[in-house]
Chains A and B, each alone.
Chain A
Amino acid sequence: MALLEVDQLRVEFLTRNGTLTAVDDVSLKIEEGEVLGVVGESGAGKSMTGNAIIGLLEPPGRIAGGEIRLDGQRIDNLPYEKMRKIRGAEIGAIFQDPLTSLNPLYSVGQQLVETIRTHSDVGLAAARSRALELLNEVGIPAASQRIDHFPHQFSGGMRQRVVIALALSANPRLIIADEPTTALDVSIQAQIIALLKRLCRDHGTAVMLVTHDMGVIAETADRVAVMYAGRIAEIGPVADVIKHAKHPYTDGLMGSIPVVGQQTERLAQIEGAMPRLTAIPDGCAFNPRCPKAFDKCRQTRPDPIASGAGEVACWLIEQEAHHG
């Protein structure tokens, strides 16, 4: 049994103009200690998937279908208080902007101690020494002084290190890292990714790493999921997906893989733009941009089917299966 199983997840927004489906029948698994990269253009539904997993979808967004299981236990329908105890302790999260993720009114030590004591029954002194340990572990220089400093006294990279320390402070088994370096200076992005990778390997923590950076995926992830218009286009071992992309969209994405940490044009090698949620075409959502589209693509929607070690949602794969 995988650590996390997402099964046919559907996230909807009730708006004045009807119901928008931001995440549509997404299924994925994350094994203990595994890094799953998630890529896709802006608006593909990556953050909504992550938010649904930690139970922090903001209204009017809601889970409209499917199941999310941790160790085989459903967590998508837990009451708030039960889910709260899972957040931080079992599933941690790191968000995009380290500058705004920390409360400006508390020292980093206070925020660490509060989180540690929320999830385990330890005294103030023990929590503080654990906090100090964590700050050392994430590489804050002079941690014993810095522990009493406030967020505004840290640079962006240092703040993201503090955020990582906070996310790890209750030893979660899975971390959802949603573009953890996008807001940072290019020069420190690689450092932060390396730190995250090392810490999670040391602690045996699984990671769902959302990013626009294919280089980071290539370096860090074990498997990768490619999302397009709220659905998974392709998911599989990172080497397979990068070297032998089966979905035409993935193929386009892999056009050029930049060096780690280098911010290239955001996955924009493919002509055209991803459709808005209000105007998703019939059939395969990618068909207006797909160089290989044929009649069937414009009529019927392909579902992910097994192909090699992964899954691909494309009619070409089905054809191959039939003919080859």
Chain B
Amino acid sequence: MVAFIIRRLLQSLIVMFVVALVAFTLFQFVGDPINQLVGVETGLKEREELRQRLGLNDPWIVQFWRFALNAVQGDFGISYQHKRPVTDLIVNRMPATLELSLISALFSLFVGVPMGVYTGLNRNGFLSKIFMTVSLVGISLPTFLIGILLIFVFSVQLGVLPSFGRGEAVLVGSWSTGLLTSSGIKALILPAITLGLFQLTLIMRLVRSEMLEVLRTDYIKFARARGLSNSAVHFGHALKNTLVPVITITGLQLGSIIAFAIITETVFQWPGMGLMFLQAIQNVDIPIMAAYLILIAFFFVVINLIVDILYYVVDPRLRIDPSAAHGHG
């Protein structure tokens, strides 16, 4: 187990290194940073001085090393557009994105899994057929359209929920949270549903098909033959055996939720990292783009690591030293 985690950590380091390299090359290929930093009136000599001072004349490997070293310490340079440290900007924006992503993920999990179990157990039920049909819509409609539809119904027609912004946020330490104010929670509902709907349908369909698969297995039949109660068979034996794929997908989806928050944040003008990233692209603000890329990769890597560890918790076949197996005839 320890060896496995160390191996995984090494793999993660390699992934992060590659992403850092990609982010770094952005600086090399997308325009001249000096042009972004100074005005047209700056003379050639001053530009050259600045270039020297920023180390832009060093070999690229030296520059990359410096970039990586700074990144590890949480320093991503100064935003071209905002003229402020990128890290400060991100720290400002991150809570909004993470809260939105987390609530969406919880929403999709806590609604998706029960719906999946229900449709798996009552395959031909009326409600199951409705769930399956609605889920098709959820999977095929693009996110922005769902967002706009929700805004149209709940903000424009019914006027019960806000259509943009994050409501009132309060500071808890350095974390600005919208979860503690009623306006913050109200503002969160529509974006969270929009962002989580796709994952919800995905999880529901996954749980359903896994349940159908597991319910056909011999150990479920044997569990019934032993007279175990329906709830023990369905939840203790069947659902638990669907968990490994559900954890995998949920983990991967959590990463995508954070990444795809860009679209939802745009639709709802949600003041998160995604919106900032989009603005950075428009302004060719490379330090922000690079930092965002690295950060998203970091989230993916951390989530994958957690998923791998959860496997061990759920599945004893992975947990135990394989050499101990088949010890006795």
Interface residues of A (CB under 8 A from B): 54, 56, 80, 84-89, 92-93, 95, 97, 100-105, 107, 114-115, 118-119, 140-142, 146, 150, 152-155, 157-158, 163, 166-167, 169-170, 188
Contact = CB atoms under 8 A, between A and B. Distances in A.
Top 6 closest A-B pairs, CB basis?
Answer: A88-B227, A93-B225, A87-B227, A100-B218, A150-B316, A88-B226
A163 B326 contact: no
Contacts of B316: 104-105, 107, 150, 152
23 contacts: A56-B221, A56-B224, A84-B228, A84-B229, A85-B227, A87-B226, A92-B225, A100-B217, A101-B222, A104-B317, A114-B228, A118-B226, A118-B228, A118-B232, A150-B316, A152-B325, A153-B324, A153-B325, A154-B326, A157-B329, A158-B329, A170-B226, A170-B227
A11 B302 CA distance: 55
B97 to A, nearest CB: 35
Contacts of B320: 150, 152-153
A101 B223 CA distance: 8
A95 B225 contact: yes
**B: interface residue count bin:** 20 to 34
Given A54-B225, A103-B219, A155 B240 contact: no
A146 B320 CA distance: 13
Contacts of B219: 100-104
Nearest to A89: B227
Contact of A119 (B227, B315, B317): B227
B294 to A, nearest CB: 38
Q: Which of A86, A89, A103, A167 has the most CB of B within 10 A?
A: A103
Nearest to A187: B329
A231 to B, nearest CB: 25
Given A105-B314, A105-B315, A150-B320, A97 B226 contact: no
Nearest to B241: A105
Nearest to B329: A155
B45 interface: no
A272 B68 CA distance: 76
Given A88-B227, A167-B226, 13 more contacts: A87-B226, A89-B227, A95-B222, A103-B241, A104-B241, A118-B232, A119-B227, A141-B328, A146-B328, A150-B317, A154-B326, A158-B328, A166-B226
